[in-house]
Amino acid sequence: MKKASRANARHADLAGAPPKLATMDDLEVPTAAKPSRAHASSKSSSTKKGGELKINLKAVAAALIDEGYDPAVEIINILKKQVPVLDNNGAPRVDPKTKKPIMRDALDPDTKLRMLNEMLQYTQPKLKAVEVKVSGHLDLTNEQLDSRLEMLFAKAMK
């Protein structure tokens, strides 16, 4: 069976059923340079040598896009998700003024903070450590050091 028809057969198998876990056959992409290889070559930094399985990350990304999933958008949707506050009977509590259900974040603040911190590394550069060498006047008071630092910060902000 050809690789394209394998994927089509897999999609036909799902007709109305819950999705199954992906198999390595789903990720197979033939390469033009080496058509006899079962998996496309990957130049990913996570690929290890020594006969271990290589997964083509571009194929995984393409599969996500084909299925309509963008990981960044999905993470944002999870971060924004709200659920109703329930009373002791399990019924949603309603705001008496607006007559709408009272909502709360689906994630606890700690989980939300960890997720945002993880995403931050992809949007903001990490700052390097700065070393300050003080030479000359070692007998400066704290006030004199503070005024010199303020002057340096003002000069750096220009």
Spans of all domains in the chain = 1-68, 70-126
Q: CA-CA distance, 86 to 100, in Å (whole number)?
A: 13
**Cα–Cα distance list, 56 to 49, 62, 89, 144 (Å):** 14, 10, 50, 59
pTM: predicted TM-score of the whole model, two decimal places? 0.44
Q: CA-CA distance, 145 to 157, in Å (whole number)?
A: 18
The H or E element that residue 105 is part of is strand 103-105
What is the full per-residue pLDDT of the chain (158 aa) written as tens digits?
444 555 555 555 555 555 556 565 655 554 454 444 444 444 444 555 566 677 788 888 888 888 988 888 888 999 999 999 999 999 999 999 999 999 999 999 999 999 999 888 888 888 888 887 767 656 778 888 889 889 998 888 87
Q: 83-112: per-residue pLDDT in tens?
A: 999 999 999 999 999 999 999 999 999 999
For residue 74, is it left (φ>0), alpha (ψ between -120 and 50) or beta?
alpha
For residue 51, is it left (φ>0), alpha (ψ between -120 and 50) or beta?
left
Q: CA-CA distance, 102 to 86, in Å (whole number)?
A: 8
Contact 85, 103 (CB under 8 A): yes
Query: Is 138 exposed, middle or buried, given 0-12, 13-18 or 19+ CB atoms closer than 10 A?
Result: exposed
Contact 25, 5 (CB under 8 A): no
Contact 28, 38 (CB under 8 A): yes
